[in-house]
Chains A and B, each alone.
Chain A
């Protein structure tokens, strides 16, 4: 069935370093969504990408949708402690239900 692969599972960074998480699909996507979940919290919707090659920015966060609409990435520039959490991508299946990636945990090294 349709799957979305998200890597890496964890990323440890020093505060001020950059962070990137990637999602790859076996099929062409109609759109992809990104969510952030703080430790002990619930997922919060960040953005939806729809167009091939689309790039959107939210302050230090940059979201990209691949030209072939089979992959997407989230890049955070100069991480801060407020960025700590798990970042999930999610794509729609043929029934319009979201299929979730396993998430990438952003951990700031002490």
Chain B
């Protein structure tokens, strides 16, 4: 079944640690996105990609990096976790610019 998967589902990590959040989709979508969302609040775009070897920065990109080496895989790395990074991170994909997004179940990150 075509879907989008995020791991881990929950993560508690200490300040200063480097972490990578995984996102994979089996739908063959070219466009992929990372969002940060506090519970019940609006979504903030962190990074996006239009395809392999294409990555662009969103509004909240300064403390993280992404890569897109394969169509199906779009990992997000926080170089040095801080308590202000505590949030939910949502990965999404889309087949094109005029289609809806399919979201993964998210990673709930807590930095202590």
Contact = CB atoms under 8 A, between A and B. Distances in A.
Interface of A: 31, 33, 35, 39, 41-45, 47-48, 86, 88, 92, 96-98, 100-103, 105
Interface string B76-100: 0000000000000010100001111
A95 to B, nearest CB: 9
B40 A103 contact: yes
Interface string B20-53: 0000000000000000000011110100100000
A43 B103 CA distance: 6
Interface of B: 40-43, 45, 48, 58, 90, 92, 97-106
Given A92-B97, A97-B48, A42 B90 contact: yes
A72 B40 CA distance: 21
23 contacts: A33-B100, A35-B101, A42-B90, A42-B105, A43-B92, A43-B103, A45-B101, A48-B99, A48-B100, A86-B40, A88-B42, A88-B43, A96-B97, A97-B48, A98-B45, A98-B101, A100-B42, A100-B43, A101-B42, A102-B41, A102-B42, A103-B40, A103-B42
